[in-house]
């Protein structure tokens, strides 16, 4: 479940996220709503993080998304260590009332149907999450626009990835999919294909999961901001999902080398893109 307040803010309810996944299967598909907003949205781009442009990216700073979040977003945890390497970190440096500080960036613009790609390496650590997702949030209080599509790497088991989506703030479509490698030790390519009638998640070009729309299974249809983050949970409900938060004695860092969006129908923007296939 998600909320919107000022800058994009996100609230997951652990009980919802722990529901058993129900991957879609081939069968009757449903067209998107007439004139679905996700037919619009921002244009294609490839971001290689030579710098962090404030025209494209907003850095979250000075708040937490809720009492369940064990860290405070801090711009100090966002860094380009060298050209082509964006790092987002969680550190045991207190910020305001939270014992940890952590990092999130988000695009200013929203993006709709198309292909979302990231080259990244998540951090490892019980109680912690590295995420790449698209999120809209309710507009003007209308929860029907509260759509989201996720890649989430739980630091307690980086041999798997959690895939999920929300429609109108309703989730419970998650799956925990084995990667075949430890994501925290290898930079890899992850891609999301968001089409009017299906969602597809890929890892290193391999299709990991597909969900098809159906009359009783709507898909997200509102353009969202692209979000990158590293954060920790707190409280028993989140410990049951993420594991207890155990700081490993050094900052937990997620590395991002590239983020790209290819609008549906546009040519691929870089040679490794799954759109080029």
4: Cα separation from own chain's centroid: 16
In 3-state terms the chain splits into helix, strand, coil percentages (rounded to 5) of 10, 45, 50
Distance CA(166)–CA(109), nearest Å, equals 19
Q: Which residue has the tokens 């009757």?
A: 28
143 phi, psi to nearest 5 deg: -70, -15
Distance CA(72)–CA(66), nearest Å, equals 10
Bridge partners of 146?
Answer: none
CA proximity to 234, closest of 69, 64, 2, 63: 69
Element containing residue 239 per DSSP (H, E)? helix 236-242
Catalytic residue among 47, 104, 117, 152: 152
Q: Return left, alpha or beta for 96; rule: phi > 0 is left, psi -120 to 50 is alpha, else beta.
A: left
- The answer to whether 36 and 196 have CB atoms below 8 angstroms apart is yes
Distance CA(88)–CA(84), nearest Å, equals 13
Catalytic residue among 109, 148, 210, 257: 148
152 part of the active site = yes
104 part of the active site = no
Bridge partners of 32?
Answer: none
Catalytic site residues? 148, 152
């Amino acid at each position: 479940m998600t909320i919107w307040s000022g800058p994009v803010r996100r609230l997951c309810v652990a009980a919802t996220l722990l529901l058993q996944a129900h991957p879609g299967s081939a069968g009757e598909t449903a067209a998107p709503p007439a004139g679905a907003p996700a037919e619009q949205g921002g244009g294609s781009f490839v971001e290689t993080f030579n710098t962090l442009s404030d025209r494209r990216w907003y850095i979250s700073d000075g708040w937490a998304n809720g009492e369940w979040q064990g860290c405070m977003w801090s711009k100090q945890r966002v860094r380009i260590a060298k050209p082509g390497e964006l790092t987002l970190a969680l550190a045991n440096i207190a910020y305001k009332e939270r014992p940890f500080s952590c990092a999130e960036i988000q695009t200013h613009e929203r993006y709709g149907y198309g292909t979302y790609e990231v080259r990244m390496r998540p951090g490892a650590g019980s109680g912690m999450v590295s995420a790449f997702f698209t999120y809209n949030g309710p507009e003007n209080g209308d929860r029907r626009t509260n759509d989201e599509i996720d890649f989430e790497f739980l630091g307690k088991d980086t041999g798997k990835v959690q895939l999920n989506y929300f429609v109108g703030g309703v989730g419970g479509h998650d799956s925990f999919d084995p990667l075949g490698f430890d994501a925290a030790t290898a930079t890899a390519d992850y891609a999301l294909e968001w089409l009017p009638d299906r969602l597809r998640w890929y890892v290193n070009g391999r299709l990991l999961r597909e969900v098809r729309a159906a009359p009783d299974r709507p898909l997200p249809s509102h353009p969202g901001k692209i979000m990158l983050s590293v954060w920790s949970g707190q409280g028993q409900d989140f410990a049951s999902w993420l594991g207890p938060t155990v700081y490993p004695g050094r900052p937990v860092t997620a590395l991002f080398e590239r983020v790209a969006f290819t609008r549906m129908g546009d040519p691929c923007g870089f040679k490794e893109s799954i759109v080029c296939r």
